Structure 1
Amino acid sequence: MKAKLYFFLKSYFGFSQRESRGLVIVFPVLFLLYLFPSVYDWMLRKKNEQQYEQYLGKIDSLIQAGWQPYNPNPNFSNETFNQDTSKNRINYQRPKSPQLNKLLFNEADSVVLQIVPGIGQTMAGRVVKFRENMGGIHHKDQLLEVYGMTPEVLERVFEYFEFHPEIFRKLAINQSDVSSLAQHPYINYGAAKVIVAYREQHGFYTQADDLLKIKIFNEEWLERLKPYLEF
């Protein structure tokens, strides 16, 4: 049998006769070492189970003999303990997070605006510039005209700031020159030139609807600009 095993190891693995003998001796030892932890755990668990069963047997015997667990204070029951602890229990509550002061939107500068998630330094600068050039904001949706502003960010703006419609500077349309008119976001340079040219030819405007006499302007354009006009 050994001769066949040596021949097999030599033919298939190239072991010498000495190496084959060493492997035959070492392999069973390695196998036993591999099994040893499992066998040891099984024996230890078996021993613990036996000891636990003996312990339960002793407890059962004592109870049958009339044994009662020792109570150092017979006048103190579990019910009394539960009542006492319920009286002295402190109801802890999570403290409320402090709220920041809400400023008026028209008073917020480009630094303070950056508290709004989604508004960085560049966007804050655009918002302030738009508000100042407009002369104030009379409707929240106007901020959507700021480049890069989204409805989601706009909604968050007024979670941090109070909004009150306010126009703090109006456009004196009968006194302003082309450059002054063109600074307003709702009037481009070409429209400003036409407004001034018509005024010079026909005299001062008396009401907003006079601008509709200039055929390039329409009611939609005028309705947006009208709150900012001063005559």
Structure 2
Amino acid sequence: MVFKKSHFRFTKQERSGIFFLLLLIVLGQTFFWLYKYTSVSHENPLNLDDDLQAKIDTLKSQNQYKDSLKIFPFNPNYISDFKGYSLGLSIDEIDRLHDYRSNGLFVNSKEEFQEVTEVSDSLLYVISPYFKFPDWTRASRANSKKHISGIKTIDNLEAKNFKDLNRVTAQELKSINGIGDKLSERIIKFRDRLGGFLIDDQLNDVYGLKPEVVQRVFQKFKVLNAPEIKKVSLNTSTAKELAQLVYLQKKVAERIVEYRELNGEIHSFDELMQIDGFPTNRIDRIPLYLSLKK
């Protein structure tokens, strides 16, 4: 009787070979799935739809813009719509400030700014360190209050105690300790170039005049009758017209026009501080002579 050889009967060497082959297959599959799972998790850990991804990208770009926004010191009394929006103010808050300013009034502290605009404490905390309140705004506000309460009575009172700084002579100025021939002539010359002092604080702009001497002058002389100045448009004037202002050199006036041509209309006087060579320490004098209106 002939017996057929079984196909499932293996020698010891054949069984070892089959075992190692199966082991290699299992290890290969294991490494394959581990690699595939790891690469997928790194490439796309979250499956986001297009709308959600677009919103995330928008928020990222907004945060990058806020981080890159550099704030320069500015006078909050002259915040334009664009400036206010950039700082985070709402339309209503900006309108409240503009309505307040339309009455000829000025805010002179961060507390007063919040009282007028009703901005939140958190926003005030962020922007108030950049507030710059000049002396002339306080003087202007005092003048506006005089106008409301009766300017003639106050002017008469001042006229009794002081002489008009716009009418004082060089000889009278020399009566002040610290002012000699050169300084008295320099004051008169500077006053003539201005066309007359608009505010008392402009006396500090006279070269070589020390602050303590200025205070002595104010004990006798003040601006009682300021000249009428026709403001020049910052957005339409030529460089030559701008250079006629005492506080602007010819090169700076030309750069203002170049800046205007590149960036369009100037919305705030604070933008001028970005111009190379601009006298930032005299930024508060500019609104006395220039206007943003076309």
TM-score (ref. length: structure 2): 0.35
TM-score (ref. length: structure 1): 0.43
Rg (Cα) greater in structure? 1
